[in-house]
Structure 1
Amino acid sequence: MSNNLQPTTGSLWSELEEHQASLRDVTIKSHFKSDLARASNFKLSHNDISFDFSKNNMNERTIELLLKLARDCALEDKRDRLYNGATINTTEGRAALHMALRGTCPDHLDIDGKNVKDSVDQTLEQIKAFAEKFDREQRFDHIVHIGIGGSDLGPKLVCSALRHLSKPGVDIRFLSNIDPDHFHDTLDGLNADKTLFIVVSKSFSTQETMTNAHSARDWLVSHLTDPEYVNSHFCAVTSKFDDALSFGIPDDNIFDLPDWVGGRFSLWSAVGLPIALYLGYDHFKALLSGAHDIDQHFLNTPLESNIPVLMGLISIWHRNLWNYNIHCVLPYSERLKLMAQYVQQLDMESNGKSVDAQGAPLIQPSAPAIFGASGTGAQHTFFQMLHQGSDIIPCEFIAVKTPVHRVGDHHEKLISNVLGQTKALMDGYKNTEQPHKNFEGNRPSNTVWLRELTPFSLGMLLSLYEHRAFVQGAIWNINSFDQYGVELGKNLALKALERLQNLK
């Protein structure tokens, strides 16, 4: 198949459909009976992470056909083009070099006349120097990160997940929404003299971010002991250096955000500055190292043993062959409670498209709707629907084997719920006499296991999901790196704002 064709146009798709039809009356549970080693055969591990995909309605033939599909859709070639800095974001005329931010790129790759590796190293040195100055001077106790979307969610997830590693006496808050109550609540109780604002906007014109930034400046002027020093309370992460200077931000406090980094892939860049300040530069580097480790696994491991490749292909299997249009992400770790929202943005903004990379309408559906929450709390909200609802919703559990803190047998009870829920979804429980207590079962799930929650393992986890999204987009032949769907509503909102202001 050509690189530019959708998967359903090849002859292999008919073979996949026939194979899926042969499994419609087969239960997931029966696969374990016919393959006593299924639990180990349908599990992949790499360093601190493992992926258990045994509880899906699939067999060795399924994997064989899906791997053929990946090769038929030129996944390996597309993966190489991603690594080598090809213009794979065709609508915006850009490469997508988020892997380069964690040291995964060719040494001699140049973009717009600049060596990518050198640019990344320079930014990392700037982050390190600023973090060391932050620690040395101890001028600020409060960090307020102003950004939205990918410029907000990634750093917020990392700082929340790893807060047990935070520096004593340093508080971090995230300001994203343009809602005035969010602004008020975020700044409530802060000492202006001890507060540093980090403004993140590639264009330095994002409405929500810049509105909050200007309001933050006004707040500082009215609350600082000496308003003359207001500019030194700001950092900027942007590609518009001159605009940040015009705002008043000192040039040493302006960090470059290259055009070849998309927002939802940007936490590895200077967008991760709050991570380095809140957790420490060494922990930020460990996060990058974990992501780099999965990059190498994705680039160099055969498809058959490649975790993000198999994760992506199973998503295709569910979405396009079984027509499951919803996917549930369930981190059984309160520290990872933002993972569902993170994966939601990563998948739905990357692959929620209706045309392919050449602009032709998609023949098959693309990204499913993604939702989720942390367990065990989620069991008392929407698990009713997962077990007995009319829609079958594939679930993805994320669990950590070793807790950050030990409290009695809490962790054993937490993990027992992961094991119990995945088994309940698969096995079900027949009760014909009381239909309201009947569980059909045969509901698929995957489980991603982390050995422990560290900067390195978290970097691995986030990189894993980035590459999964890429694999899905490569199979569907769509551009996973633009997001024009966010533009129309914003443009109409500007017109509505003008009318509202005129009413005043």
Structure 2
Amino acid sequence: MLKNLKPTELKAWHKLQQNFIYDNRTLKTRFYEDSERFNKYHIKWDGILFDFSKNHMGSETFALFQELLEEADVRAAIAQQQGGEKINITENRAVLHTALRNMSENPIYVDGEDVMPGVRDSWAKLATFSNEVRSGNWKGYTGKRITDVINIGIGGSNLGPRMVINALKPFVTDEMNFHFVANVDGADLDEVLKQVDVETTLFIIASKTFTTQETMQNANSAKNWFLKNGGSEEEVEKHFVAVSTNDEGVAGFGIDTKNMFGFWDWVGGRYSVWSAIGLPVILAIGFQGFQEFLSGAHAMDKHVTKADWSENIPALMAMLGIWYRNFHNAPSQAILPYDQYLDRFAAYFQQGDMESNGKYVDRGGNRVNY
């Protein structure tokens, strides 16, 4: 079980408080005074350059960041998370999205059961289905291949796949177009339906429970559109698939449960793009491309586990967040992707950051003061 630490009571936190003196020197001045600043504060990892030299911090602060990580025993917490321990104490669940991208042969246990065989079975099912659709073997009710995919879902079922497909546009097939519907306002779905042909459209209904109000309202509207424009109840299964765990609800909608792709309660919505929720991504870039996507994430999972704190990109990013919010009293942060393909990244990251770091109580249920 994770320790219920109060970071503001740790020795390293107090040292940071003592170290912190508001310094209004500009970054230009900092670089002028230290010509080696960039060399001191950047990390190169697997083709990625992480430059944190352009932050208001110095060598003593940098050292105290690492001291705080050690004192808080963050290394042990990472091991517990990646090892399948139930660190979500509110719901008594593991937080194991890292298993979804575990490309090693190492088992990962939850309640004594290795989850990796189930993950690999999920991969196989997704690969088979995506290959059928991408090859044109999957036909609509008139025998035509699928040309448009509409993903209906909210939150992580929308933000993650939408961001990734946009980011990887140069690798997306030109045989299909991809659309996303999340807003319960019918105009969102209506505008998408104007762009597609009922005979060649595949809908992905992404709802773990298959009862999410916004998603099911849009799903039922999409089904009604399908039935009014030439499709029949018997042909729904050729144009609708589900990412869900509710067999009964999916079957009742008219979807063949063979075309239902499930996932586990240890997958949080904000991390679900690595699961079957990533089906639109798989259709867009192919299963091999998706495996490469998973491999990149797995490489970072290994990096955060093994890298020294002075070279650990996620840990240092977290420390900078703590530094600005708690010491500089900065109430917000800007995420500004310069690459046009990443224009959906800020919305995606906002959900992950706010849901993960926006808690107002600690693990003991006490209100936090940091």
TM-score (norm 1): 0.69
Per mean C-alpha deviation after superposition, the further-off stretch among 33-42 and 106-115 is: 106-115
Are residues 1:345 and 2:357 paired?
A: no
| Partner Cα separation in structure 1 for residue 308 and residue 104 of structure 2 | 19
Post-superposition CA distance 1:7-40 (Å, at most 9, x none):
111233222111112x525443333234321112
Q: Partners in 1 of 2:85 and 2:208 — Cα distance?
A: 21
State yes or no: 1:239 paired with 2:245. yes
Aligned to 2:132: 133
Give how far 1:247 is off: 1.9
Equivalent position amino acid for 1:359 in 2: G
| 311-320 vs 9-18, greater mean Cα deviation | 9-18
| Offset of residue 227 of structure 1 | 4.8
Matched with 2:53 is 54
User: What is the RMSD of the two structures over their aligned residues, measured on CA atoms?
Assistant: 1.7
In structure 1, the partner of 2:313 is 307
Partner of 2:332: 326
CA change 1:318–1:104 in 2 (3 A) is farther
Contact 2:83–2:109 (8 Å) recurs in 1? no
Q: Does 1:107 align with 2:106?
A: yes
* 1:61-119 residue CA offsets vs partner (Å, 9 max, x unmatched): 10111111111111111111011011111111111111111116883333366531111
Write the distance in 2 (CA, Å) between the matches of 1:170 and 1:114.
Answer: 39
Among all aligned residue pairs of Structure 1 and Structure 2, give the percentage whose two residues are the same amino acid: 37
What residue is the counterpart of 2:122 in the other structure? 123
Where does residue 70 of structure 1 map in the other structure?
69
8 A Cα contact 2:103 2:295, kept in partner: no
Inter-CA distance 62–113: structure 2 relative to 1 (3 Å threshold) = closer
Q: Secondary structure at the match of 1:280?
A: helix
2:203 partner SS: strand
Q: Which amino acid aligns with 1:48?
A: G
Alignment partner of 2:154: what SS? coil
CA shift in 2, pair 1:227/1:249, >3 Å? closer
Distance in 2, Cα, partners of 1:340 & 1:143: 24
Question: In the alignment, which residue of structure 2 is the partner of 1:276?
Answer: 282
The question of whether the paired residues in 2 share the 8 Å contact of 1:224 and 1:230 is answered with: no
The answer to whether the aligner puts 1:176 opposite 2:182 as a matched pair is yes
Tell whether the 8 Å contact from 2:99 to 2:108 is kept in structure 1 after alignment: no
Aligned pairs for 1:388-427 within 5 A = none
Counterpart CA distance in 2 for 1:119 and 1:356 is 33
Flag the 1:39–1:113 CA change in 2: closer, same or farther, 3 A.
Answer: closer
Count residues with an aligned counterpart: 362
Q: State the partner residue of 1:502.
A: none
Q: Equivalent residue for 2:292? A: 286
**Could you tell me which of 247, 254, 260 is aligned with 1:254?**
260
Q: Which residue does 2:91 correspond to in 1?
A: 92
| Secondary structure at 1:174 match in 2 | strand
Residue identity matched to 1:173:
H
* Equivalent position SS for 2:16: helix
Q: Is the 8 A contact 1:170 1:278 kept in 2?
A: yes
- Kindly state the Cα deviation for residue 313 of structure 1 after the two structures are TM-superposed: 0.5
Aligned twin of 1:13: 13
- What residue in structure 1 maps to residue 213 of structure 2? 207
Q: Secondary structure at the match of 1:267?
A: helix
- 8 Å CA contact retained: 1:105, 1:117: no
Q: Is the 8 A contact 1:83 1:104 kept in 2?
A: no
Contact 1:150 1:265 in 2 (8 A): yes
One-letter amino acid matched to 1:207: Q
Deviations 1:139-160 (A, max 9, x none): 2111000110011001001111
CA shift, 1:326, in A, is 1.0
Matched, 1:190 2:185: no
Residue of structure 2 equivalent to 1:458: none
- Contact kept? 1:84, 1:105, Cα under 8 Å: no
Deviation (angstroms), 1:52:
0.5
Indicate the residue corresponding to 1:32 in structure 2: 31
Q: Match of 1:438?
A: none
Report the Cα distance in structure 1 between the residues aligned to 2:105 and 2:307, rounded to whole angstroms.
Answer: 18
The answer to whether the Cα contact below 8 Å between 1:104 and 1:295 also exists between their aligned partners in 2 is: no
Secondary structure of the residue that 2:337 maps to in structure 1?
strand
Question: Do structure 1's residue 317 and structure 2's residue 323 form an aligned pair?
Answer: yes
Runs of 5+ consecutive residues of structure 1 not aligned to the other structure: 365-504
Letter in 1 for 2:84: G
Q: Tell me the distance in 2 between the aligned counterparts of 1:179 and 1:143.
A: 20
Q: 1:97 to 1:172 in 2, by over 3 A?
A: same
**Structure 1 residues 266-293: Cα deviation after superposition (integer angstroms, max 9, x where no partner):** 1011111111112211211111111111
Paired letter, 2:56 = N
| Offset, 1:43 | 0.3
The answer as to whether partners of 1:145 and 1:173 remain within 8 angstroms in 2 is: yes
Moved more, 3-12 or 93-102: 3-12
The question of whether the paired residues in 2 share the 8 Å contact of 1:31 and 1:59 is answered with no
1:152 aligned to which of 146, 153, 158: 158
* Post-superposition offset of 1:57: 1.4
CA distance in 1, matches of 2:126, 2:159: 19
Which letter does structure 2 place at the counterpart of 1:121?
Answer: R
CA contact (8 A) 1:220 1:227 kept: no
Deviation at 1:225, TM superposition (A): 4.8
Distance 1:89 1:132 in 2: 36
SS of 1:61 mapped into structure 2: helix
Task: Encode CA deviations 1:476-503: one digit per residue, 9 max, x unaligned.
Answer: xxxxxxxxxxxxxxxxxxxxxxxxxxxx
Match of 1:486 in 2: none
Of residues 257, 280, 303, the one that matches 1:297 is 303
